[in-house]
């Protein structure tokens, strides 16, 4: 069986409802997949049980349906795939690429960049420890981001990254590379808040000899104050009755304002129109967009 030429994904964390920023990531990755005639998968990143809000995975799926964003195949849940992360961790360990770290978060808070390598030669304290991936600090990860252009990330600035937390939970950085590879993802399209993480993810993929996807980072939405999307906006679940208006807003932010004839159109029609014009949007997208006051 030949593998499809394009497989994209949307990978929300079910820690609350979708908000405008996550809708932008969903719409951007959906349109990129559809315009390439590709598949669009949904994966729930629900490893951090303490942060998962019960019911929110289902609520996210209902929102995607109401917003005209049907996914292909079965939804994957990271919480059901931990055996795969354990295997990957074991392969990093046997290649000498991991070490145990006993540092508490507050001990590292003062560091302005990365992890200073405190436990590289062994944990400083006995007891439960996190596991970190040993980066090659001489390495700079360079890649072409389809929306952001040429990116270069110096690994020494990022530091050794946690791949399994002290409480035993596998970290996002490890799970994401394992899943993208096992699901055959060819194109990672997501918010620019994860641009830096791409440095670790590319290094992890190299160490695990996993297939390298293309990357494309969508604009991160910021408040006028320069801060992250306000809690009120994040907390306010997207209203399915406003789906057309919200999708139009996101399309404008992505540089594809829908024409007047489509005012009031259902979200699926807006998305179909936009998929046909996706290649006409500006080739480069901004890294951040400051929203007007709500």
By CB under 6 A, name the binding residues for ligand GLU.
Answer: 11-13, 45, 176, 190, 194
Complex with ligand GLU: residue 12 or 244, whichever CB lies closer = 12
Cα–Cα distance for residue pair 261/244, rounded to 1 Å: 13
Distance CA 39, CA 54 (A): 28
Query: Which residues contact residue 232 at a Cβ distance below 8 angstroms, ignoring those fewer than 6 apart?
Result: 294
In the bound state with ligand GLU, the residue whose beta carbon lies nearer, of 190 and 205, is 190
d(CA 281, CA 283): 6
Apex 20 CA angle, 253 and 271, nearest 5: 60
Helix or strand run (H / E) with residue 288: strand 288-290
Contact in structure between 3 and 185 (CB atoms under 8 Å): no
Task: Work out the angle between the directed axes of helices 82-94 and 197-208 (0-180°, nearest 10).
Answer: 70
H helix intervals, 47-165: 56-66, 82-94, 105-108, 155-158
Closer by beta carbon to ligand GLU, 12 or else 159: 12
Least distance from ligand GLU to the Cβ atom of residue 163, Å: 15
Give me the least distance between CB of 181 and ligand GLU, in Å please.
13
Q: In the bound complex, what is the minimum distance in angstroms from residue 45's beta carbon to ligand GLU?
A: 4
Supply the minimum distance, in Å, between the C-beta of residue 51 and ligand GLU.
Answer: 11
Q: Which is nearer to ligand GLU, 129 or 174 (CB)?
A: 174
Minimal distance, residue 32 CB to ligand GLU, in Å: 13
Q: Report the nearest approach of ligand GLU to the CB of residue 46 (Å).
A: 9
Query: Which residue number, 85 or 99, has a Cβ lying nearer to ligand GLU?
Result: 85
Q: How far is the CB of 122 from ligand GLU (least distance, A)?
A: 32
User: Which residue, 45 or 187, is less far from ligand GLU as judged by CB?
Assistant: 45
Between CA 10 and CA 12 the distance in angstroms is 6
What does each C-alpha distance from 119 to 43, 73, 98, 154, 207 come to in angstroms?
A: 33, 43, 11, 21, 20
Nearer to ligand GLU by Cβ, of 43 and 258: the residue is 43
Which residues neighbour 95 within 8 Å (Cβ) at sequence distance 6 or greater? 207
């Amino acid at each position: 069986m030949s593998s499809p030429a394009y497989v994209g994904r949307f990978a929300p964390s079910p820690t609350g409802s979708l908000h405008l920023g996550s809708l932008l990531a969903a719409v951007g990755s959906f349109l990129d997949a559809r315009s390439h005639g590709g598949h669009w998968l949904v994966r729930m990143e629900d490893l951090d049980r303490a942060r998962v809000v019960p019911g929110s995975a289902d609520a996210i799926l209902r929102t995607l349906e109401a917003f005209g964003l049907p996914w292909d195949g079965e939804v994957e849940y990271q919480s059901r795939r931990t055996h795969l992360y354990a295997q990957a961790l074991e392969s990093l360990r046997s290649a000498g690429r991991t070490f145990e770290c006993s540092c508490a978060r507050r001990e590292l808070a003062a560091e302005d960049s990365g992890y200073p390598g405190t436990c590289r030669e062994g944990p400083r304290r006995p007891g439960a420890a996190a596991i970190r991936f040993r980066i090659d600090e001489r390495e700079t990860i360079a890649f072409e981001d389809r929306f952001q252009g040429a990116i270069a990330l110096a690994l020494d600035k990022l530091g050794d990254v946690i791949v399994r937390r002290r409480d035993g939970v596998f970290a996002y950085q490890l799970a994401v590379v394992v899943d993208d590879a096992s699901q055959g993802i060819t194109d990672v399209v997501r918010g620019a808040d994860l641009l830096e993480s791409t440095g670790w993810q590319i290094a992890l993929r190299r160490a695990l000899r996993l297939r390298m996807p293309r990357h494309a980072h969508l604009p991160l939405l910021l408040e006028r104050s320069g801060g992250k999307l306000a809690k009120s906006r994040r907390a306010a679940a997207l209203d399915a009755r406003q789906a057309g208006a919200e999708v139009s807003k996101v399309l404008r932010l992505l540089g594809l304002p829908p024409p007047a004839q489509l005012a009031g159109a259902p979200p699926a029609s807006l998305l179909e129109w936009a998929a046909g014009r996706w290649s006409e949007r500006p080739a480069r997208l901004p890294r951040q967009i400051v929203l007007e006051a709500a």
